[in-house]
Each structure stands twice: as structure tokens, then as C-alpha cells.
């Protein structure tokens, strides 16, 4: 199945994370449930794995694909990056991700720098953070 809606060119600007996971098709479905992801383009391989999937989450892009060790791209667990969702009201984002099955690694709370912040890990090993900037006033 290939989804090909008209894509806003702005979603191809800036820095776009491209993550490789084991079970990318399932991960995409999970991201739809947990983060409200919208599939913009999906490119499966003949064996059913995902060669490429472009998702839109909260106005930004993320690319997802299966690991392909036979082509030199073995799976490497997430450990040195964190996907971050920033919103003026982060609770709905946080609650949906927890209800979908993310594991909380740092509770959502007011931090010493003035923002509300929390972190979690999804079932595919990707780290996510949620940040509600301090209200200015």
C-alpha cells in the first residue's frame, strides 16, 4: 500500500529525523495511535518490510524504515537521540502516548528550568520527550 497525498513542501525543510526500527509497519501503526501520526507516503518492499515511510507528527516530519542488515543497515537501538514534541498544552500528547503503550522513563513534571518535561520510550526502543515551555508573562 502506498499513500500519496499532496505533501506540503515545508515538510521537506529543516532537519528531518529518519529512524530505522525492527517492525516498521507495526511501528507506523503505533505512531498513528500514540502520537497522531499521519502517513504521507509509504513504500513497502516486496517482502513486506518498509523501505520508506514519511510521517507527519504535530506539524513536523519523521521518516521511518525497517532495518536492512543485508544492505549494510543493521538495527541499532536508539540511545543517543530523543524525538521531542513541544506544545503549549502537552498533557493530551503525553496521555495518548502512555495509553498507547509507551514506557515512562521520566515523569511529566515542572522542571527546574521552568518548563514541564517528561520522557518515555516506545515499544520499538525510540526515546521520546514532551516539553511544555514555561508560560511567559
pLDDT tens across 3-42, in order?
445 566 655 667 899 999 999 999 999 999 999 999 999 9
In this structure, the answer to whether residues 50 and 18 fall within a common structural domain is: yes
pLDDT of 95-126, one tens digit each?
Answer: 999 999 999 999 999 999 999 999 999 999 99
For residue 62, count other CB atoms closer than 10 A to its CB: 20
Cα 43 to the center of its chain, rounded Å: 18
Range of the domain at 55: 9-71
Are residues 13 and 60 located together in one domain of the fold?
yes
Q: Are 43 and 66 contained in the same domain?
A: yes
Residue 119 has φ and ψ, to the nearest 5°, of -140, 155
Q: Which residues contact 1 (CB under 8 A, 6 or more apart)?
A: 42, 44
CA distance from start to end of the chain: 48
For residue 45 the three cell numbers come to 518492499
Local confidence band at 136 (pLDDT 50, 70, 90 cut-offs):
confident
How many domains are contained in the chain? 2
Residue among 134, 76, 77, 129 at smallest CA distance from 104:
129
DSSP conformational letter for 126: -
Amino acid at each position: 500500500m502506498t499513500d500519496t497525498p499532496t505533501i506540503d513542501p515545508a515538510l521537506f525543510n529543516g532537519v528531518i529525523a529518519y529512524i530505522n526500527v525492527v517492525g516498521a509497519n507495526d511501528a507506523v501503526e503505533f505512531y498513528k495511535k500514540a502520537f497522531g501520526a499521519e502517513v504521507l507516503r509509504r513504500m513497502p518492499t516486496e517482502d513486506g518490510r518498509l523501505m520508506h515511510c514519511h510521517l507527519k507528527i504535530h506539524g513536523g516530519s519523521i521518516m521511518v524504515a525497517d532495518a536492512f542488515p543485508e544492505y549494510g543497515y543493521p538495527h541499532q537501538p536508539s540511545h543517543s537521540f530523543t524525538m521531542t514534541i513541544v506544545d503549549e498544552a502537552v498533557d493530551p500528547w503525553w496521555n495518548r502516548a502512555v495509553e498507547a503503550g509507551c514506557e515512562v522513563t521520566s515523569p511529566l513534571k515542572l522542571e527546574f528550568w521552568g518548563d514541564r518535561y517528561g520522557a518515555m520510550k516506545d515499544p520499538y526502543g525510540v526515546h521520546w520527550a514532551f516539553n511544555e515551555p514555561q508560560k511567559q508573562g
